[in-house]
Chains A and B, each alone.
Chain A
Amino acid sequence: MDEAIVDYALDYAQGKKVDYAEVRGQSQVQDRLMLRNGMLEAYVSGVDSGFCVRIIANGGIGFASTNKWSKEEAKEIVDLAFKYAKGAKRKDKLVFAKEKGFKTKWVVDQKKKIENVSPEERISALSEVDKALASCGVKVPATMSQCSIDLTTKYFVNSEGSRISSFVPKIGAFIFITVAEQGKTEQAYEQFGYSGGWEAFHEWDIPERMIHNAKVLRDVITKAKAVKAGDMDLICGSEVTGIAAHESCGHPMEADRILGREMSQAGRSFIYKGGKYWIGTRIGSNVVTVVDDPTIEHSYGYYPYDDEGVKARRRFLYKNGVINEFLQNRESAAKLGTTSNGSSRSVNYDREAIVRMANTFVLPGELSEEELIGDVKHGIYMKSFTEWNIDDKRFNQRYVGREAYVIENGELKHPVARPVIETTTLKFWTAVDAVSRKVEFDAATCGKGDPGQGIPVYTGGPCIRLRSVFVK
């Protein structure tokens, strides 16, 4: 990456009648390997590098990017972004919320540098998953395993004095398995992610996790009983808690969605101006506090400064069951008369930064998992999920259990096949009466934006107990 060209582009932009200008250079070393049934299907490796310009002029925003690193190209994209900004012809002029500029440099440390891990070692490590599954005593006729590595260097400058350089190594893995027993199949996948070095790959212990999944799926086929539908208590494991926090708290609290900017793609929110829900409205019980926090070191969604150069911090989205704070970037914050809370992210140099989550999770309580289960007379423990979705106002959601058990008189009993909770955001979070003390995280790729910007996040939380909800 040529930082001088980034600086040049900003200088050139500032020579025009702009209200604001920023330039973001980004270089990404990407490495993807994929195994099918233990065999290397493809190894894709390369560097993607370019820079973008975003300009506010005459109340409009223009954005242009290129992967050609030259001063001539810099001038061209600045001219284009400036032309687009001026041509927006908006009735209400766009501005950004005022923020402090920063001059800083940040990097994520690696214990074992990814750059020093040979391709052979990466392939071999991923192959261990298939080897383990082959000898675990469960019939696994199909697997697909992927390992991804991204080494991202960024240089962000803006017309308000920000100069921020960063380097983030990220490692990810995705495993999909099919289990066959008695002529039937079941499927599961797991995703792993970490900001840091290769040390994470071994800490995940993917072979053991996938053996566990294979056995769970076998038991779903051979031992699990159907759920007798009705009202009952439901314990959600951290994986289920995490997806619910992400889908029915994180997404509806994105301010751009609330303002309608994502209306035709990712949708709107049940929270909107003049509606039933706004900051200060109760949405859950008082034991429910959901936060989004980019500052957790080595998390998949880690960053100390966002892609608008704003310092990141923990955001309390639902606080003791009450809607507390939206996720904001500078554009949405200005519209809502507040300041950004550092939620602006972009996946690459050719994508505008938009409001995103980082690591969204439920804060822990004081009980143990056993204490949560021990106080359930009749219910279900949904430890993990398979199919899930939520409507585009983020109110009607559905989670289908992957690993799940019946609870009778405070004890875990037999597995149950595909229990389903299909309920509203209000009912889900209001039904929570207890939260366990151990928080766990899962990696995920959050989708939003057009063109799509799949972005790394953690979802997570402790176990939570929902009283008297309908499970089928």
Chain B
Amino acid sequence: MTDILNKTEEIVTKAKKLGADEVVAKTTIGKYRQVRFSNNQVDITVAWDDYVTDVALAWKKRVVATQIHDFKDIDASIKQLLGLAKVSAENPMFGGFANGKFRYPKSNADSKLEDLDSPTELVSEAISAAKKEIGPKIDSGGILFTKFEDVYLVSSEGPVGFDSRSAIELSIRAFAEQEASGHGVECSSTLKGFKPARAGTKAGEIAKLARNPKTGDDGAYDVIFDPLILGSSLGVWGGMVSAFNVMIQMSVFVDKIGKKVAPEIVTLKDNPAAYSMSNRVFDDEGVPTKENVFIDKGVLKTYLHNASTAKMFKTKTTGNAGLVAPNPWNIEMEAGDMSKDELFGEVKKGLYLTNTWYTRFQNYAKGDFSTIPRDGIFLVEKGEIKKSLKDLRVSDNALTMLGNIAAISKERQHVHWWAEADPPSLSPYVLIKNVHMTKSK
């Protein structure tokens, strides 16, 4: 550990000696494993062993970055990077990397995930659970992914830190018929907290209910969003509070700090807490991460910042620095006061959507977009699932939908799926009124 930290520090020291004003170096030694399966069988098992040092340096407000994959290349890489800075162009808005000395809490990374070399049995558990729901005609596929990273960070501006980050996730899609499917996910930072059967059961339950779907009608509906599909919306709203996205107008939240953007029941936070797949004790500038409430009881409180964007917005970094721009780590929607069943009971006639993909915007600043629900889509009447539907699209507005949240469940689930429900989130069931659905004609 000390050796890697010393080598990371050497990069910073050498860059400073060569004339860099500010330098941050972060070395990640990663061990990643994945099992991909389909048709209820393993297709491929994959291992990636990787190490990389991300280096960002500033010279007279010129910001350049590189990745070093071999410590033998330090001298040449740093010289080249500084050379690049010297012929680069000034960014007058650059406000510097974060400075200060920080103490970080000890990482809770699970070393069992470092040693988990053959996780195929966990996949079998999920498939078996889905099979219990659907029966022998099940067709299922998905991935199991594990991560264990040791991260060493040194900044010329003070921060020095070590973090271990572990995660495990399973995503399973189960089919009861060609057009009747359900999707379940299970995510955790520890093996102990990981229950693959839960994901299988959920996928199976939805698939079973989704049998014999009929094409739905377009129109405006009250819609219950399952935690998985809400995870996609949380990713959209969370991404749009990144100060960088606000600056390039890829956000509905431009000039809305202090304004009401949602009803009072809505509180959204970014929180890379210990349970989260994206748990971390510091950001990419070495600033301790923390819980940041960005929508508090419906009012937009802050954007997510690194040190430089914080300076531009005359505020403090929120500990969300990525290599170039600030990002959310793990979004949480505060739990509501209704049970899931009570929330369903609020719906006289509406829809229950379980998953979506392919979210695309016409205009990020206005928020007009569409997304295509997949897996179970259900007609709900008087709180009960009445019918399985298919071939409907949500065609609405991101800000309007945030404003139309009418109820939030007590139950929440930690979800993450591919690039569609990303970053990870702690997501409840949510009722959104007057959601516009369209279909092919």
A interface residue numbers (CB < 8 A to B): 34, 36, 39-50, 60-69, 73, 76-77, 80-81, 83-85, 87-92, 94, 118-120, 123, 127, 141-144, 176, 178, 185-187, 259-265, 267-268, 272, 275, 350, 352, 386-393, 395-398, 400, 418, 422-424, 427, 447, 450-452, 470
- Residues 227-267 of B contacting A (Cβ, < 8 Å): 247-250
Contact A61 B66 (CB under 8 A): no
Report which of A43, A66, A393, A422 forms a contact with B439, defined as CB distance below 8 A. A422
Contacts of A388 in B (CB 8 A): 360
Q: A68-B49, A185-B363, A272-B178 are in contact. Are A396 and B440 (CB under 8 A)?
A: yes
Can you name the residue of chain B whose Cβ is closest to the Cβ of A454? B419
Contact A387 B64 (CB under 8 A): no
Contact B250 A389 (CB under 8 A): no
Contacts of A142 in B (CB 8 A): 247-249
Can you name the residue of chain A whose Cβ is closest to the Cβ of B44? A61
Report which of B47, B69, B172, B418 forms a contact with A64, defined as CB distance below 8 A. B47
Can you name the residue of chain A whose Cβ is closest to the Cβ of B418? A265
24 residue pairs of the A-B complex, CB under 8 angstroms, read A39-B92, A45-B65, A61-B44, A61-B45, A63-B44, A64-B48, A64-B49, A65-B47, A67-B52, A80-B47, A84-B46, A88-B45, A119-B84, A259-B38, A264-B173, A265-B418, A268-B178, A275-B178, A391-B393, A395-B440, A396-B372, A396-B439, A450-B143, A452-B419
Give Cα A40 to B64, complex, Å.
Answer: 10
Minimum CB–CB distance for A318 against chain B, Å: 19
Contacts of A88 in B (CB 8 A): 41-42, 44-45, 120
Give Cα A94 to B43, complex, Å.
Answer: 8
Q: Is B429 an interface residue (CB 8 A)?
A: no
Give Cα A77 to B173, complex, Å.
Answer: 30
Give Cα A141 to B366, complex, Å.
Answer: 15
If over half of B's interface residues share one DSSP class (helix, strand or loop), that class is named, otherwise mixed; here it is strand
| New A-B contacts (17) at CB < 8 Å, excluding given A67-B51, A264-B171 | A43-B65, A45-B65, A45-B66, A45-B80, A68-B70, A84-B46, A127-B89, A260-B139, A263-B140, A263-B142, A264-B141, A264-B172, A387-B360, A396-B439, A398-B395, A427-B440, A450-B34
Contacts of A42 in B (CB 8 A): 56, 63-65, 323-324
Contacts of B141 in A (CB 8 A): 260-264
Number of interface residues of B (CB under 8 A): 84
Contacts of A47 in B (CB 8 A): 67, 69
Contacts of B107 in A (CB 8 A): none
Q: A40-B90, A65-B47, A185-B365 are in contact. Are A263 and B175 (CB under 8 A)?
A: yes
Contacts of B179 in A (CB 8 A): 393
- Residues 79-105 of B contacting A (Cβ, < 8 Å): 80-81, 84-85, 87-93
Give Cα A69 to B72, complex, Å.
Answer: 12
Give Cα A396 to B84, complex, Å.
Answer: 47
Contacts of A392 in B (CB 8 A): 357-358, 372, 374
Contact A49 B69 (CB under 8 A): yes
Report which of B65, B250, B362 forms a contact with A418, defined as CB distance below 8 A. B362
- Residues 137-151 of B contacting A (Cβ, < 8 Å): 139-143
Minimum CB–CB distance for B17 against chain A, Å: 20
Give Cα A94 to B438, complex, Å.
Answer: 42
Contacts of B66 in A (CB 8 A): 44-46
A-B residue pairs, 9 tightest by C-beta: A84-B45, A264-B173, A389-B358, A263-B141, A264-B142, A46-B67, A40-B89, A64-B47, A470-B441
Give Cα A28 to B47, complex, Å.
Answer: 20
Q: A44-B64, A450-B418 are in contact. Are A398 and B393 (CB under 8 A)?
A: yes
Minimum CB–CB distance for A61 against chain B, Å: 4
Q: A44-B64, A263-B175 are in contact. Are A92 and B369 (CB under 8 A)?
A: no
Q: Is B282 an interface residue (CB 8 A)?
A: no
Contacts of A452 in B (CB 8 A): 418-419
Q: Is B111 an interface residue (CB 8 A)?
A: no
Give Cα A143 to B248, complex, Å.
Answer: 6
Contact A44 B118 (CB under 8 A): no
Contact A396 B391 (CB under 8 A): yes
Minimum CB–CB distance for B242 against chain A, Å: 13
Can you name the residue of chain B whose Cβ is closest to the Cβ of A261? B38
Contacts of B49 in A (CB 8 A): 64-68, 73, 76-77
Contacts of A44 in B (CB 8 A): 64-66, 323-324
Report which of A67, A143, A389 forms a contact with B372, defined as CB distance below 8 A. A389
Give Cα A387 to B393, complex, Å.
Answer: 13
Contact B64 A187 (CB under 8 A): no
Q: Is B36 an interface residue (CB 8 A)?
A: yes
Give Cα A36 to B64, complex, Å.
Answer: 14
Report which of B45, B70, B250, B360 forms a contact with A63, defined as CB distance below 8 A. B45
Contact A423 B45 (CB under 8 A): no
Give Cα A85 to B116, complex, Å.
Answer: 16
Give Cα A141 to B246, complex, Å.
Answer: 12
Contact B69 A84 (CB under 8 A): no
Contacts of A387 in B (CB 8 A): 360-362, 368-370
Q: Is B280 an interface residue (CB 8 A)?
A: no
Contact A422 B69 (CB under 8 A): no
Contacts of A418 in B (CB 8 A): 362
Contact B46 A389 (CB under 8 A): no
Report which of A60, A67, A77, A423 forms a contact with B42, defined as CB distance below 8 A. A60
Interface centre among B67, B175, B323 (most CB of A within 10 A): B67
Give Cα A118 to B50, complex, Å.
Answer: 30
Can you name the residue of chain B whose Cβ is closest to the Cβ of A185? B365
Contacts of B250 in A (CB 8 A): 144, 176
Give Cα A85 to B42, complex, Å.
Answer: 10
Report which of B34, B173, B360 forms a contact with A389, defined as CB distance below 8 A. B360
Contact A422 B440 (CB under 8 A): yes
Give Cα A85 to B77, complex, Å.
Answer: 38
Contacts of B439 in A (CB 8 A): 396, 422
Minimum CB–CB distance for A216 against chain B, Å: 14
Q: Is B62 an interface residue (CB 8 A)?
A: yes
Report which of B68, B90, B175, B362 forms a contact with A400, defined as CB distance below 8 A. B362
Contacts of B171 in A (CB 8 A): 264-265
Q: A34-B324, A81-B47, A144-B248 are in contact. Are A186 and B363 (CB under 8 A)?
A: yes
Can you name the residue of chain A whose Cβ is closest to the Cβ of B50? A67
Contact B63 A390 (CB under 8 A): no
Report which of B42, B63, B183, B369 forms a contact with A264, defined as CB distance below 8 A. B183
Give Cα A253 to B262, complex, Å.
Answer: 43
Q: Is B378 an interface residue (CB 8 A)?
A: no
